[in-house]
Amino acid sequence: MQKKEFKENLLSPLPVVLVGAMVNNRPNYLVIGYISPFNFGKHIFFSLYKKRYTRIGIHENRTFSVNIPSEALLDETNICGSKSGRDIDKSKLFDNFFGELKTAPMIRECPINIECEVTEILDYDPNDGIIGRVVKSYADPGCLTDDKLDFRKVHPIIWATGGDFNYYRLGDRIGQDENE
């Protein structure tokens, strides 16, 4: 079988997330399309362009949140991805709340929220590589089946990062872990 070669990363699709941080004493959120858990989910990594407004809060407070929006938040997600917190108050788009970390704002309307403490910031000029330790995660009870997270009920916005760069929805379950 012959394969077509691509220069870009085809590790796709990925959920769109809204990363939150306190900037100038106010919650701010930006869209991140490339984000990855590692160390068996105990840490999260993402790249952040150094000119982003949210970067200020991440550097100052050494905390951030990861919020997974549902399809119902597509309009708000687009605003967070197209407007800077320098120009608009994105905290007014959502019902903000805080968990254990008092400087990692989270979005109540998002079905999943994760608060993180920065463990390392790597310099990949013109970006920062942000590594955070997961402190605590939260999920809406309506997204659980038998007390376990059911991603089909989250209705996440999926982004095709290595394809046509569009949004999609999660499909059907095609198999089940035999240990369940």
Give the pLDDT confidence score for residue 163 in this predicted structure. Answer: 67
100: in domain? yes
Q: Which of 152, 122, 136, 147 is nearest to 65 (CA)?
A: 136
How confident is the chain (180 residues) per 10-residue block, as mean pLDDT?
Answer: 84 90 97 93 96 97 98 96 96 97 97 98 96 98 95 91 76 71
149: in domain? yes
Specify the CATH number for the domain of residue 115.
Answer: 2.30.110.10
Range of the domain at 110: 14-169
74: in domain? yes
Q: Which of 172, 145, 167 is nearest to 157 (CA)?
A: 167
9: in domain? no
Counting the structural domains of the chain, the total is 1
6: in domain? no
3: in domain? no
CA separation (Å) from 18 to 41, 54, 100, 174, 177?
18, 11, 19, 28, 29
1: in domain? no
